[in-house]
Amino acid sequence: MILIYFFLPESLVGERRDAARLQQKVPFTLNALGDALKRPGVGPLLHLRFFYGLAFSMFTSIFALFAQAIGLASQTTGYLLAYVGLLSVIVQGGLIGLLTRRYRENVLIITGLWVMSAAMLAWAFTTSLWLLLIVLAPLAISGGVLNTVIQSAISKSVNREEVGGMLGISSSLEAFTRVIAPTVGGLLMQNLGVWAPGIFSAIIMAWVVGFTYRKIIIPAKIERLAAEGKSLI
């Protein structure tokens, strides 16, 4: 909070702040949510945020039960989750700046999704502590990249006046996944086995990869080539 106060410049200053205060605010309703999900540009990103969030929430909400089932002590489970959190903080706090300066956001998104898909699949069949340390590293790093880059892409896909509202919708969708994931993950683990939540998450991520290519990567490439006067074919 101290760093934000001193170093983050205010985006609404002077007349712009007065205009924003007088502007009529659109109420948040289910219809408004539906309209946002249908919008080109930001709509696919919100879908991506929800389904990626569902897979990652499946991991975070079920991992303690998974660890217990494979015989890990509670303290060891805590250390593993702290390890995942530390890697995510390192990525979002420093590494992401280097990555975004070198690669386009869409490249980071699709690469992060591929890595997350493979990591979720590997997690499903990993029962060794040392293998878990290896598997959880790409899972945590890709999660840190996706959390940051997807939010950044959403903020750039709407007008300045809509940024706060769209980020709020994005956060709400992600929070909703944390309601769904524990129930679904618990049922899968109870009825199928400890591997089931990981497989379910990997399937979701595989679908998300295809969705991202169709709705985000290819349209962006077509738009970029059109701007350069070229054809995709």
pLDDT of residue 42: 84
The three-state DSSP-derived secondary structure of 19-82 is HHHHCCCCCCCHHHHHHHHHCCCHHHHHHHHHHHHHHHHHHHHHHHHHHHHCCCCHHHHHHHHH
How confident is residue 53, by pLDDT bands cut at 50, 70 and 90? very high
Task: Answer whether residue 199 shows pLDDT above 70.
Answer: yes
pLDDT of residue 233: 56
pTM (2 d.p.): 0.83
Task: Answer whether residue 33 shows pLDDT above 60.
Answer: yes
Domain 47-227, CATH homologous superfamily name and number: MFS general substrate transporter like domains (1.20.1250.20)
pLDDT of residue 121: 94
Structure token digits, residue 55: 């897979």
Q: Do 184 and 59 form a contact (C-beta atoms < 8 A)?
A: no
Q: Please report how the helices 163-191 and 196-212 are oriented relative to each other, as an axis angle in degrees rounded to 10.
A: 140
H-helix segments, the chain? 2-7, 14-22, 30-38, 42-69, 74-90, 96-102, 105-124, 129-156, 163-191, 196-212, 218-227
pLDDT digits (tens, 9 = 90+) for 155-195: 888 887 778 888 888 888 899 999 999 999 999 999 999 99
pLDDT of residue 62: 92
pLDDT of residue 24: 61
Q: Do 154 and 167 form a contact (C-beta atoms < 8 A)?
A: yes
**Other beta carbons less than 10 A from residue 204's beta carbon:** 20
- First-last CA distance in the chain: 50
Task: Answer whether residue 30 shows pLDDT above 90.
Answer: no
| From 19-28, 132-141, 148-157, 212-221, the region with the lowest mean pLDDT | 19-28
Ranges of each domain in the chain: 47-227
Average pLDDT, the chain: 86
